[in-house]
Structure 1
Amino acid sequence: MSKAFEGPSPGFLVWRLSLKWRVAVDRAVAPLGLTHAKYVLLASLYGMHRSGLRPSQRELADRTGLEALYISKLARTLEVEGLIERHRDLADTRAVQLVLTAEGREVTGRAITVVQQLLDQLMSPLGGRGSERCEMFVQELTVLLDAPLDQFHRSEEER
């Protein structure tokens, strides 16, 4: 006997929240000439630079969860737009390091401010970003992000 419809599944809700956030960020950063994906690359690069890192495209892909080929495509576009520079790594000629230009730092700083305001709006129903409920939400999301899903990618023969 199957259960009657009990509401949306957790997977559906995660997908909807992710989509809602992406669309909201796209709209918020559009006046700065950015998309959500460009923002993710720039803001991650900005944060890594502030920590003293000079990441390669591969390291940035690992940090953001975006595919390395997509990072490469975005990086080329952002380079043409004058927001980043791409340099060959002297220690590993296969690697390309990314650096924000002065204009890139300025645009990214403005975009971070806009997205932080948007995040404040999103988290307000949970009591705001500094609230205990929000902190618990972040912990739960982190648990889900850290959970491996590899077992679902194996073929029937491998099981």
Structure 2
Amino acid sequence: MFLMSGTPMVPTPGYLVWRLANKWRVAVDRTLAPLNLTHAQYVLLASLYGIESAGRRPSQRELADHTGLEALYVSKLARTLEADGLIERTRDLADTRAVRLALTDQGREVVRPALGLVQELLDRLLTPLGGQDDPRAAAFVRDLTALLDAPLDLPRKDS
């Protein structure tokens, strides 16, 4: 990457995170294409699978909070996945504003192999850090988690 003057440009952390996120999203989309899933659909299904495995049936809002996806986007994805027969959406009897989500049998049949495919992809993507079990990969996860946990409304230095 170079400036117009030909001087090498040092990439910012934000630019690198953006590039990596896009690169990995494309890789996951390609990996899941044979299952007719997008990365976003996979995130919703895999998260729902994990939450259900823990014995809970989340609302769309809870799933949005868990995945980091916008609630409106989760609602749109859930409607699409419901139309495809992969999840069920039902009104919460205690809170009629809430919609609860659950995988269908077909949804479980789709998400299980998807989990395996994405796990294999993650192994390949983390090879430059020594693989998933390498201490560098663990440090990478800690650093990413710290960045994700940091509030977006950091105080300004001039205040």
Q: Taking structure 1 as the reference length, what is the TM-score of the superposition? A: 0.91
Percent of pairs with identical residues? 68
- Which residue matches 2:3? none
Structure 1's unaligned 5+ residue stretches are: none
Cα RMSD, aligned residues only: 1.5
State whether structure 2 residue 138 is matched by structure 1 residue 146: no
State whether structure 2 residue 134 is matched by structure 1 residue 131: yes
Q: Which amino acid aligns with 2:34?
A: P
Within the candidate set 101, 112, 115, 1:112 is matched to 115
In 2, Cα distance between the equivalents of 1:93 and 1:23?
37
For 1:1-159, what aligned pairs fall within 5 Å after superposition?
A: 5-151=8-154
Q: Which amino acid aligns with 1:89?
A: D
Q: Which amino acid aligns with 1:87?
A: T
In the TM superposition, what is the alpha-carbon distance from 1:91 to its structure 2 partner? Answer: 1.2
Hey, which bits of structure 1, 4+ residues long, moved more than 4 A? none
Q: Taking structure 2 as the reference length, what is the TM-score of the superposition? A: 0.91
In the TM superposition, what is the alpha-carbon distance from 1:5 to its structure 2 partner? Answer: 4.9
In the TM superposition, what is the alpha-carbon distance from 1:138 to its structure 2 partner? Answer: 0.5
Greater fraction of residues in helix: 1
- How many residues are treated as equivalent by the alignment? 151
